[in-house]
Structure 1
Amino acid sequence: MSNLSRRAFLQGSALAVSATAVSRIGAASLPEAVLQTQAATQPPLNPANGRPYQPVVTLNGWTLPWRMNNGIKEFHLVAEPVVREIAPGMKANLWGYNGQSPGPTIEVVEGDRVRIFVTNKLPEHTSVHWHGQRLPNGMDGVTGLTQPGIPPGKTFVYEFTARRAGTFMYHPHADEMVQMAMGMMGFWITHPKDPSLMRVDRDFVFLLNAYDIEPGAATPRVNEMTDFNLWTWNSRAFPGIDPLVVRQHDRVRIRVGNLTMTNHPIHLHGHEFVVTGTDGGWTPPASRWPEVTTDIAVGQMRAIEFNADEPGDWALHCHKSHHTMNAMGHDVPTMIGVDQKSVLKKINQLIPDYMVMGDKGGSMGDMEMPLPDNTLPMMTGNGPFGGIEMGGMFTTMKVRKGLASNDYKDPGWYRHPAGTVAYEWKGSAAAMPAAAQAPDTRRMANKPGETILNAVKGGSHGDH
């Protein structure tokens, strides 16, 4: 998203609209449809006009710019086919908004009058439901019940007042099984009128979604109901999910919405948190209790908060173990303890590259196997001490001291203080081995030839 396109968007001209569809005259003054194709987390979009608020950071996503028109915030969503990189090495043919799936986050302030133009570039009709909002019934976005579907090539207008602060979503209520299975969804944040209310230092948002994409394919099987093989956050699977970068002692909020077909127990390592919000609003302080895992059911939102006091690279993931894997074959038999040597030689005569799998367990993090094009390994991702053996709904929260308040750059791997890494017992408690005093800097390279020591040299990102 260039500065030029953003400037043009914010300085757009006046607008003429009908009750439900844009007239030919009015179409000439539609707000610019800003597009974003990068898969990396974009910096927060500070409000250039309107009432102040603290912006959120969308994990592997971005916030949609707006323009002010006679006191109304105007946005332009474009429903369209998109190509989304699920992780390096795999792209998927999805449907989304403004170049991505999920679509951009929409941020407004409680009491704002909002006007959203929705242009349909899909091959079928669509609509947008503003999940959790209080609004006029005819703006609720349910095709056939509260509005006609938006035909291909047409633009409809939704207009309402953001009546309460909170954490919301948007998604179609039109051919929902297909359109949501193809990735059509987005986040909506309504900030409180008082910027100091429920204020935190860092505020992250992302949606839980899932796909069934056969190995070697690129388009989801939309008729799947339960047996998905790609569990994603904002249509990204680990190691394609960015870390949540946090300054030590920051007050952190993480808002998560679930638009999959099952529940997800989201678990944070190293810290305890409280649930401070749902899609129904803020939870009363007296009702909160400490947790390290919160279960998010289908169609629900949860906002958790905590003080990031413990430095390190802490795992954040769904606690359903199959949801932290990619492209799983669920019909594979368990082979633990089965001696396959007698058949290996025979199979190799027919399939020279065949290898024994699963006789000692399921670990395949260090195995290099040929895969169909555009397919992710089941378990992947490397850390400072070897293969992480995770995929799907997994990332890290990187807590560091000394970061600037607006610094979200990946600081590299954590440098453990001496004596704080688990080590091999060798029969003597006289001294800890050197391997426990410092990580293997060769394997902690951020990029080929660059060690973590170089990455943090002289800087604010490293812990010493």
Structure 2
Amino acid sequence: MTDLSRRGFIGTSGLVIAGAAAVSGRTAFAAVPEAPTMTSAATQAPLMPTSGPDYQPVATLNGWTLPWRMNGDWKEFHLVAEPVERELAPGMIAYLWGYNGQSPGPTIEAVEGDKVRIYVTNKLPENTTIHWHGQRLPNGMDGVGGLNQPHIPSGKTFVYEFQLRRSGTYMYHPHSDEMVQMAMGMMGMFIVHPKDPAFRRVDRDFVFLLNAFDIEAGSYVPKVNTMLDFNLWAWNSRVFPGIDPFVVGKNDKVRIRFGNLTMTNHPIHMHGYEFKVSCTDGGWVDPAAAWDEVSIDVAVGQMRAFDFVADEPGDWAIHCHKSHHTMNAMGHSVKTYIGVTKKDLVSRIRKAAPGYMPMGSNGMGDMGKMEMELPKNTLPMMTGYAQFGPVEMGGMFSVVKVREGLAKNDYKDPGWFKHPEGTVAFEYKGQKLAEAPRVEGPKVNPDLATWQVKDPRKPRLGADGKPLPGAKAGGHSNH
């Protein structure tokens, strides 16, 4: 696996205790598996099983799968909670908390019926725990600090042991200072494959987490107290154009799984296909009950998966359908200037600030191709180019790239789709078109070249220039 390294740990005194218990001491640490770490932000190749039941491993979008070792009949993993640096997209780094070098942490993969032993070492400056979101397990392994177990102090290692009782799509995250630690990026996916290799088998299986950050322009650390006004909407702590494509072969059966650990719901929409919703929080959807969608909403704390057959080649967009969630560094206090002529204002501003560029009079699309100076470590609202120009997107946006002739385990970006002749939308250059029919509306003064933008803080005025009866400054028309 590329960009993968291993590291050891320094022990103190203590014992290995059955359950979610502290591990320490030189003798005990000799039995602890090494903790792999990952530095690359690129999607790593799936980790193929070399023993035990066969399954199609997942490809974690801009992530990787945590290697394990067998110790008797236990499958052992080692997670390290620690501060990390994460590249959100080219040109912006965030200082986050995560696991094994990244945020989110590595995907854990195992098989229904496996007995798993997961060592968790805390290298954070405060206590932590891990909750295994959606799993059936002994109550003392559920990971709620203070309720089910002691918190894991900084510098200590605890052990979680449980048997995987059902297959499906799950998550892991802290239940210790949860608001801060999740806002800082601490989370990961946990995939449990069916023990029957033929059950709901697909050719390519992708997984990612939806998360969000509020990072002020020029800053590196998220604001952990933000509740709703996030400015960076991410998939696996990456934002477009930093999100890798989903690369699939033509006629592959494909599954896309995702979990939502943001503070709001997300309607995930894929272009070009209808798909079958195949898995939810509660488990697999019976094929007879599966329903067709082109968008599927995922609420906070939920997991969803859908399947489709990739029989339409091309570069198909996939994104959250909340329009603000496909933008980067969204400023929520920016005023709307659509229809406002700023020609005179611009000339005066340029005397004091040469090079000033007005924005927003005709919409925000021009920002997709503007190259303007930004504070260090800040992304533009829209960025990313494709073969026909700026994509005018950011945030939760990627591309499903369906290609003929891909090898089974080839996940490399194949570049932009070569459209067959005559299949791209084009400019009409024929005879002048007749005026389209329209509903007759009120007459508009032809001298008004632009829309008039009203300041709601000022009272409405009548024809005589005086305030209308009942008009108050700061009033709202819908109150």
TM-score (norm 1): 0.89
Deviation at 1:36, TM superposition (A): 0.3
| Helix, strand or coil at the partner of 2:22 | coil
Pairs within 5 Å for 1:14-413: 17-19=16-18, 20-24=21-25, 25-363=27-365, 364-413=367-416
| Matching residue of 1:417 | 420
Identity %: 70
TM-score (norm 2): 0.86
Q: Give ranges in structure 2 of 5+ residues lacking alignment.
A: 9-14, 433-479
CA distance in 2, matches of 1:360, 1:265: 28
Q: Is the 8 A contact 2:3 2:39 kept in 1?
A: no
CA distance in 2, matches of 1:292, 1:51: 33
Residue identity matched to 1:77: L
| Matching residue of 1:435 | none
Q: How many residues align?
A: 422
Q: Is the 8 A contact 2:62 2:236 kept in 1?
A: yes
CA distance in 2, matches of 1:4, 1:85: 17
Q: 1:165 to 1:4 in 2, by over 3 A?
A: closer
Residue identity matched to 2:16: V
Deviation at 1:47, TM superposition (A): 1.3
CA distance in 2, matches of 1:299, 1:169: 9
CA distance in 2, matches of 1:28, 1:173: 28
Q: Deviations over 1:295-341 (max 9, x none)?
A: 00000000100111100000000000100000011111111110111
Deviation at 1:4, TM superposition (A): 9.1
Q: Deviations over 1:144-182 (max 9, x none)?
A: 110111000000000000000000000000000100000
CA distance in 2, matches of 1:286, 1:402: 32
CA distance in 1, matches of 2:162, 2:62: 28
Residue identity matched to 1:274: K
Q: Give ranges in structure 1 of 5+ residues lacking alignment.
A: 10-15, 430-464
Deviation at 1:5, TM superposition (A): 5.4
Q: For the pair shown, which has the larger CA radius of gyration, 1 or 2?
A: 2
Residue identity matched to 1:307: V
Q: 1:238 to 1:2 in 2, by over 3 A?
A: closer
CA distance in 2, matches of 1:271, 1:38: 31
Deviation at 1:2, TM superposition (A): 6.1
Residue identity matched to 1:308: A
Q: Deviations over 1:113-165 (max 9, x none)?
A: 00000000000000000000000000000001101110000000000000000
Q: 1:136 to 1:49 in 2, by over 3 A?
A: same
Q: 1:63 to 1:303 in 2, by over 3 A?
A: same
CA distance in 1, matches of 2:2, 2:350: 55
Q: Is the 8 A contact 1:50 1:68 kept in 2?
A: no
| Helix, strand or coil at the partner of 2:325 | helix
CA distance in 2, matches of 1:22, 1:314: 48
Residue identity matched to 1:176: E
Deviation at 1:279, TM superposition (A): 2.0
The runs of at least 4 aligned residues of structure 1 exceeding 2 Å deviation read 1-6, 48-52
Q: Is the 8 A contact 2:325 2:395 kept in 1?
A: yes
